[in-house]
Structure 1
Amino acid sequence: MSESSGRSVQSRIYRNGVFGHRPAVPTNPTELERRALASMSREARGYVATGAGMGSTMVANRTSFQRWRLVPRLGRDVSRRDSSIELFGRRHPSPFLAAPVGVLELAHPAGDLAVARAARATGVPMIISSQASHPMEAIASELGDAERWFQLYWSSEDAVVESFVRRAERIGCGAVVVTLDTMVLSWRTLDLDNAYLPFARGMGIAQYTSDPAFRELVEARLAAGGGSAAGGGSAAGAGSAAGSGERTTPRPTPAAVRSLVRLAREHPGGFRENLASPVPRASVETFLDVFSRTTLTWSDLAWLRERTRLPILVKGLQHADDARAALEHGADGIIVSNHGGRQLDGAVGSLDALPGIVEAVGGRVPVLFDSGVRCAADAFKALALGADAVCIGRPYMYGLALAGEDGVREVFEAFRAEFDLTMAVAGVTRVDEIGREAVVPWS
């Protein structure tokens, strides 16, 4: 990275200001979040903003960053800086990756496709979500030759897992990221108060409805007569009081009709055909049945290793013993994460978990960091505490909500520019110079 990389972005913004042009999205992380959430529907805002339970883990993620302070070193030549890193034999221009974020259509209709275009333009590898709003093949098309990984939620159906991995290999993914901390969905109060789960409305399940193994499950369900909504009745009549002596097919409500229309629009194929077909509803019910596997253990990694030559990373680790277990069972990398505070209320901040895991790994495999990152200084602290790379999540979704592809691109550019300038002010010229001496604990 040249001397001008961070400064060029900064200078461009100031020059554009002379002509009355401002950034498409705020560079201040707090304002970015505020405006983005304000632009969303109540249901979308709840899904994006909520954490598990009282949200204390989300708070812990942020306060953990405040417990560490950077210590700049001066009198050093920082005229030329290199923020590039290497992961699994490939060089990347910055230590950032786009974390897997599901249901991006809640922020913008283009969803993952817009993120892919922005990631390609900025050189940020994209981790494609299992819960994407578009099939991985379409996302890969927008990525071109840019780096991509695939994030896997381990379904209770082995055939779906195997099919997902084969597809990920075919679209050129460089790694498989297995998310381990979502064997069930946590108690998310905003979603519960809104009685809103996007997957139940056919959103965020495009990887499944485009998958041949999953479609076979749907066909088998329909053949067995299992295409109705959960609890009995059709999508328009969900919520019936079967067995109570009341009529079992209540009058369709406006909300139920809207849900039916949404299902028809989200499902592949023609809208009119989907309205008359049981397949969209059966697809949703099948997904809800097979989404996760509560019986998953470390020994299952061997099964996955037999089915792919791609590096396998495990995501969601917060304990050093789990890191050791992951290595014992063949993991090629670890992502320290608590799912952005969305899975376990009252959990440790992800940054607090990082040093112990780094020590346990001892440099044998890459350790990536996720959860609570809002700016380049956060990323710098994570790297100083031993992370090899940092995943950006909510910030780019906020950029997507405010300005689509341009918003995501500006968020990625801002992270890279601010990181470059942070390196200069901190007195380092390469990422591998960022060590524990760059931070001190602060009470």
Structure 2
Amino acid sequence: MTQLRSGPPLLTASDYRHNAAHLVEPDVWDFIEGGAEDERTLAANERAFDRVRLRPRVLAGVSDADTGVSLFGTRHATPIGIAPTAYHRLIDPEGEVATARGASAAGALFVVAMFASRTIEDIAAAVPQPQGLWLQVYWLQRRDVMRSLVRRAERAGYGAVMLTVDVPRMGRRWRDMRNGFTIGGDVAAVNIDPAVMAAAHVRDEGESAIARHTADTFDPTLTWADLAWLRAQTGLPLVLKGILTAEDAALAADHGADAIVVSNHGGRQLDGAVATLDALTEVTDAVGDRMPVLFDGGVRRGTDALAALALGARMVLTGRPPLWGLAAGGADGVAGVLRAATGELAHAMVLAGRPTLAALDRSAVRLSSLTGADA
């Protein structure tokens, strides 16, 4: 629970969101909150959880719940981690250093974005266990930049590399285009050669500088065969983020991915794409025990996390709520958001008669239709 200097305590993610909305510049708020085009998939991610009902068990003798989970040899106190999001210094002067401290205080995984606004070394130095950090990367035309990043992450003690695979081109984010959104001031993606990032800092009316930068620097010709090159650059586990189908899940396993993330980029890429909760069982059925499956998209409360975990996810990631926490209270706000969601999860686990995450399975939930016009 986070207590601001004035006002009631912040108990839920929606409390943090309400406070953050008054503290962040409007164009930055749109950058955080917005999705692609009409934002149908953005809304569908959250709406999917409304079609899940939990199945409590009684007289189960469960008085407490253990929310701990291990992945790649690192133990986390919570299965609710932080998804990669860029440019945290747009929200807080300490940026990703504050986010990392908050995640560490809550015992949570933090996936640091390639376009972080603090160096990956400074972020690692801010926490006692840098293996609780992962580095997210996009596939750039400049492979030397990618190579340098993943090797720096390995030297800094990061626990894995996460490759986001669903951006051959950036989704059309109309809020950013209407705002002419540009990364300005002294905020920058400090881990990347400034020449590579130049287009992100040039404002043009009616255009997103982020989208223009993506078009200039990302490599849309990437295929499954290219993953071998990235695997050869580092000994860290390789996680692929952006899987929504059984076909791609099986291909990820066939090409040596160590884990995958069921994700539609928070509704920010293909508007009308399937909600992530709707895709989860398809993916987990396709990979079976071949690799861990992580999940993101629309997680706003602990019961959302419980639903995804019951449907086969090993961990869940959340993107916007930690930013709300960062805006509302810095590192303490980030920790507060994560602790609130983890507390909600533990409470629900006790009432469901599930003392551990391993005890969660599909019998813990009942699903109404997860397909159709509202999916």
* TM, length-normalised to structure 2: 0.90
Matches within 5 A, 1:19-418: 22-23=8-9, 26-146=10-130, 147-198=132-183, 203-208=187-192, 214=193, 291-418=217-344
Contact residue 43 and residue 196 of structure 1 kept, 8 A: yes
In structure 1, distance between residues paired with 2:275 and 2:236: 30
Structure 1 residues 158 and 425, CA gap change in structure 2 (3 angstroms): same
Contact residue 66 and residue 442 of structure 1 kept, 8 A: no
> Which has the larger displacement, 106-115 or 172-181?
106-115
**Aligned AA for 2:116?**
A
Secondary structure class of the residue paired with 1:81: coil
**Aligned AA for 1:60?**
A
Secondary structure class of the residue paired with 2:151: helix
Structure 1 residues 48 and 366, CA gap change in structure 2 (3 angstroms): same
Structure 1 residues 285 and 359, CA gap change in structure 2 (3 angstroms): closer
> Which has the larger displacement, 183-192 or 31-40?
31-40
Residue 205 of structure 1 and its aligned partner are, at CA, apart by 1.1
Q: Deviations over 1:333-359 (max 9, x none)?
A: 000001110111111111000000000
Contact residue 259 and residue 291 of structure 2 kept, 8 A: yes
Contact residue 41 and residue 275 of structure 2 kept, 8 A: yes
**Aligned AA for 1:331?**
A
Structure 1 residues 167 and 286, CA gap change in structure 2 (3 angstroms): farther
Contact residue 102 and residue 204 of structure 1 kept, 8 A: no
Contact residue 295 and residue 308 of structure 2 kept, 8 A: yes
Contact residue 13 and residue 340 of structure 2 kept, 8 A: no
Residue 102 of structure 1 and its aligned partner are, at CA, apart by 0.7
Contact residue 151 and residue 177 of structure 1 kept, 8 A: yes
Residue 201 of structure 1 and its aligned partner are, at CA, apart by 6.3
Structure 1 residues 194 and 328, CA gap change in structure 2 (3 angstroms): same
In structure 2, distance between residues paired with 1:239 and 1:442: 45
Contact residue 128 and residue 151 of structure 1 kept, 8 A: yes
Secondary structure class of the residue paired with 1:83: coil
In structure 2, distance between residues paired with 1:413 and 1:303: 38
Secondary structure class of the residue paired with 2:191: helix
Stretches of structure 2 lacking an aligned partner (at least 5 in a row): 370-375
In structure 2, distance between residues paired with 1:433 and 1:427: 9
Stretches of structure 1 lacking an aligned partner (at least 5 in a row): 1-8, 209-213, 222-226, 241-283
In structure 1, distance between residues paired with 2:80 and 2:15: 21
Structure 1 residues 239 and 49, CA gap change in structure 2 (3 angstroms): closer
Residue 90 of structure 1 and its aligned partner are, at CA, apart by 2.3
Which has the higher Rg, Structure 1 or Structure 2?
1
Residue 34 of structure 1 and its aligned partner are, at CA, apart by 2.9
In structure 1, distance between residues paired with 2:8 and 2:17: 17
Secondary structure class of the residue paired with 2:282: helix
Contact residue 320 and residue 360 of structure 1 kept, 8 A: yes
Larger % of helix: which? Answer: 1
Secondary structure class of the residue paired with 1:47: helix
Secondary structure class of the residue paired with 1:440: strand
Q: Deviations over 1:370-409 (max 9, x none)?
A: 1110010000000011001111211110011111111111
RMSD: 2.7
Residue 292 of structure 1 and its aligned partner are, at CA, apart by 1.4
Secondary structure class of the residue paired with 1:314: strand
Contact residue 249 and residue 286 of structure 2 kept, 8 A: yes
Contact residue 86 and residue 115 of structure 2 kept, 8 A: yes
Which of the residues 435, 439, 443 maps onto 2:361? Answer: 435
**Aligned AA for 2:78?**
S
* TM, length-normalised to structure 1: 0.77
Structure 1 residues 72 and 140, CA gap change in structure 2 (3 angstroms): same
In structure 2, distance between residues paired with 1:113 and 1:143: 9
Tell me the equivalent position of 2:372: none
Structure 1 residues 308 and 286, CA gap change in structure 2 (3 angstroms): farther
**Aligned AA for 1:299?**
A
In structure 2, distance between residues paired with 1:441 and 1:319: 19
> Which has the larger displacement, 119-128 or 378-387?
119-128
Residue 27 of structure 1 and its aligned partner are, at CA, apart by 2.1
**Aligned AA for 2:320?**
R
In structure 1, distance between residues paired with 2:67 and 2:270: 33
In structure 1, distance between residues paired with 2:305 and 2:321: 13
Which of the residues 334, 340, 348 maps onto 1:422? Answer: 348
Structure 1 residues 80 and 27, CA gap change in structure 2 (3 angstroms): closer
Contact residue 12 and residue 337 of structure 2 kept, 8 A: no
**Aligned AA for 2:79?**
P
